[in-house]
Structure 1
Amino acid sequence: MASFNIEKRPKANGDVRYRCVVIIKSKGCVVYRESRTFTKANLAKTWGTKRKCDLDVSGVPTTNKMETVQALIIKYLNDPYLGGNSGRTKRYVLNMLVDCDIAKLNADELEPPQIIEHCKNRIATGASPATVYHDIAYLKSVLKAAKPVWGMDVTEIKVNESIPMLVQMGLIGRSQRRSRRPTDDELKQIENEFRIREAHPACKIPYSDIMNFSILSCMRIGEVCSIRWDDLDQNNLAVMVRNRKDPRKKIGNHMKVALLGGASDIVIRQPKISDRIFPYDCKSITAGFQRVRTKLNIKNLRYHDLRREGASRLFEKGFKIEQVAQVTGHRNFTILWQVYAELYPEDLHQYLN
């Protein structure tokens, strides 16, 4: 027979919640367990009584057996429509979470105190609040899928309850907006070092061409390495960039982008050794960039900053925000407005006057 008990659980802000735990035992071992949290004790008791009666009639559920957070993450990663469509960062974070203590809990036992403790431990290991924010956001997406996809009585409510306190405690936060632009001298030094490396017989990657193309095209390195020869429109000096990054649309976000400046010349001089124009691993390119940057003692410069550099150059040549967006692929102009405002703060004063 089923039984239930109610646990009084005070929250960090002083509020009290009542958690009703329903269990079924067989030969002294718990064979089924589920729980739900309520704001009032009488609601918890009512739900517990009803679930006890239902379970006494129907027996141990066979289609809704509770699993650990780890098992749910693995299910999510293995699902071609969930993990299969996730980006590299999300998959990396979820694979990291699989080995964390929080993943050992049953999914229905996950409560705000355990979530907050996980975040404290991550901060203690040197992770930034922005990095820990990814843990919470991606864990939430896994729990959100549990009920509609796998029919489990699990939701993301506990994560949502944790977020305001995590923000208040400074354990999670948004990443700081970057404004770093490489100087002309820095770019010249990096390009010279790349050409020295390219002269070595073992080097197969045209680092200098790829770096300059990244600036002129304003593309992400993943986009640069994925464009194909059959996507090149040589007559109109444009190329089709497939599946551009968009938080609202993961697949099918294709965009035809003009190859401005000398970008088309860089493309045309590449050897046709593959169906891709730059058939190289984007990780190898960014790693090579980091090694050169370190060797030259250039501080706080990332490969992704080249994309911002390209957008800044377009603004400096007189392009309007909507025209720059046609190159960068930004659907939301907010980021481009920030880039423009940092380049020309005097325009705002002139407008006011």
Structure 2
Amino acid sequence: MATISKRGKHQWQAKIRRKGYPVQSNTFERKIDAEQWARDIENEMDRGVFVSRKEAESTTLYEALDRFIDEYIPNLKMVANETRRAKAIQAREIASLYMATIRTKHIAEFIKEREDEGVKPNTIRLDLAILSRLFEVAATDWGMESLSNPVKRARKPKLNGGRTRRLQPAQSKDEKSEEERLLEACGEKFRPVVQFAIETAMRRAEIANLTWANIDLKGKTAYLAETKNMTERTTPLSPAAIGILKGIPRRITGSVFGMSENAITIAMRRAREEAEINDLTFHDLRHEATSRLFENTDLDILEIAEITGHKNLQMLKRYTHLRTNRLADRLAGEKR
């Protein structure tokens, strides 16, 4: 039988003594929470499914994130980014809660807090992904078997349709297109990076990590050992892409472009500012390249996915409207 006793002005202790089980106790700010906890524990004991909550009840989310950063994040690809994200969560009020006390309502409050700050839905989803994985690891690897994952039941922010920013054409005969202005603003080292991105639809990291050892100019392919999807792939290279590569001097390091991901981001920002182009990111060049594959080739969606590395064909379906005119021509019996 559980006993509920007052501890100080603002604390209530619930204690359960039952034959065959170690004594269970926990302290709460509200009596109702202590009573609910005791009912849950006794119910599990009655059903023979009780698992000790001792470690989960004595470990805060802050402390769990510390361990997660030390033991789990180093195995991920984007170590620096994931570490920053985890440390940012540690600065939140939710981090002071014990792991066993975190419920879906707390996750919902965290989501609303982030939304009220104007944070984008995808950023919030990345935060939730860290928390969800943390609960899974704690339950399976850290002896907190009693933990359920509150993130799984929380309402996730709805993602928008994704960015659709493309390089804009010239507005008049006297003006230059955004692509022309951007390339003119690029330095000699960065210009082929931009050209290659527009031609291949490769991601920033894929371009930064590309080495000559993985380029087959004769076979017209590039082998990408690491991608965003954590899978390797070999992508075909167009004649234009081959031409760009042939114009690049070889470096002793073996790196094709000799630029890190961060260096590419900085160079893109500088070129964009010099060219006076608003709201254009390096990743938008991937969208531009993918759009051109739909507009300028007869490749089907699976063939394009082989080039771009999209694993989810739903992501590519948003480009199919670029071929609507071709469908109209085919309905009319014309060939293109």
Cα distance in 1 for residues equivalent to 2:41 and 2:212: 66
CA contact (8 A) 2:196 2:244 kept: yes
- 1:261 paired with 2:261, answer no
Residue 319 of structure 2 aligns to a residue whose secondary structure is: helix
Alpha carbons of 1:86 and 1:72: their partners in 2 closer, same or farther (altered >3 Å)? farther
Cα distance in 2 for residues equivalent to 1:284 and 1:254: 24
> Who is 1:333 aligned against?
313
> Who is 2:76 aligned against?
85
Structure 1 counterpart of 2:280, from 286, 294, 301: 301
- Displacement, 1:120? 2.5
Alpha carbons of 1:303 and 1:257: their partners in 2 closer, same or farther (altered >3 Å)? same
> Who is 1:109 aligned against?
101
> Who is 1:180 aligned against?
165
> Who is 1:224 aligned against?
207
Cα distance in 2 for residues equivalent to 1:154 and 1:132: 26
- Displacement, 1:157? 3.3
CA contact (8 A) 1:66 1:152 kept: no
CA contact (8 A) 2:56 2:98 kept: no
Q: Report the TM-score when normalising by structure 2.
A: 0.77
Q: What is the 5 A alignment of 1:244-323?
A: 244-246=227-229, 250=230, 253-268=231-246, 269-315=248-294, 316-323=296-303
Cα distance in 2 for residues equivalent to 1:279 and 1:226: 9
> Who is 2:120 aligned against?
128
Alpha carbons of 1:352 and 1:122: their partners in 2 closer, same or farther (altered >3 Å)? same
Alpha carbons of 1:150 and 1:4: their partners in 2 closer, same or farther (altered >3 Å)? farther
User: Which amino acid is the alignment partner of residue 142 of structure 1?
Assistant: L
User: Which amino acid is the alignment partner of residue 211 of structure 2?
Assistant: R
- Displacement, 1:274? 0.8
Structure 1 residue ranges without an equivalent (≥5) = 7-19, 25-30, 199-205
Cα distance in 2 for residues equivalent to 1:157 and 1:147: 9
> Who is 1:74 aligned against?
66
Cα distance in 2 for residues equivalent to 1:133 and 1:4: 41
> Who is 1:13 aligned against?
none
> Who is 1:212 aligned against?
195
- Displacement, 1:32? 6.0
- 1:142 paired with 2:134, answer yes
Residue 218 of structure 2 aligns to a residue whose secondary structure is: coil
- Displacement, 1:186? 0.4
Cα distance in 2 for residues equivalent to 1:241 and 1:45: 51
Alpha carbons of 1:279 and 1:32: their partners in 2 closer, same or farther (altered >3 Å)? farther
Cα distance in 2 for residues equivalent to 1:150 and 1:102: 20
Residue 282 of structure 2 aligns to a residue whose secondary structure is: coil
| Percent of pairs with identical residues | 22
How many residues align structurally? Answer: 302
User: Which amino acid is the alignment partner of residue 176 of structure 1?
Assistant: G
Alpha carbons of 1:109 and 1:83: their partners in 2 closer, same or farther (altered >3 Å)? farther
Residue 257 of structure 1 aligns to a residue whose secondary structure is: strand
Structure 2 residue ranges without an equivalent (≥5) = 6-12, 18-23, 170-176
User: Which amino acid is the alignment partner of residue 179 of structure 1?
Assistant: T
Residue 133 of structure 2 aligns to a residue whose secondary structure is: helix
CA contact (8 A) 1:140 1:156 kept: no
Residue 186 of structure 2 aligns to a residue whose secondary structure is: helix
Q: Deviations over 1:170-219 (max 9, x none)?
A: xx222432222112510110111113xx4xxxxxxx11011101111211
User: Which amino acid is the alignment partner of residue 273 of structure 2?
Assistant: T
Residue 292 of structure 1 aligns to a residue whose secondary structure is: helix
- Displacement, 1:71? 1.6
User: Which amino acid is the alignment partner of residue 307 of structure 1?
Assistant: R
Q: Report the TM-score when normalising by structure 1.
A: 0.73
CA contact (8 A) 2:57 2:98 kept: no
- Displacement, 1:114? 2.4
Alpha carbons of 1:292 and 1:71: their partners in 2 closer, same or farther (altered >3 Å)? same
* Range 234-243 or range 113-122, more displaced: 113-122
- Displacement, 1:99? 1.6
- Displacement, 1:102? 0.8
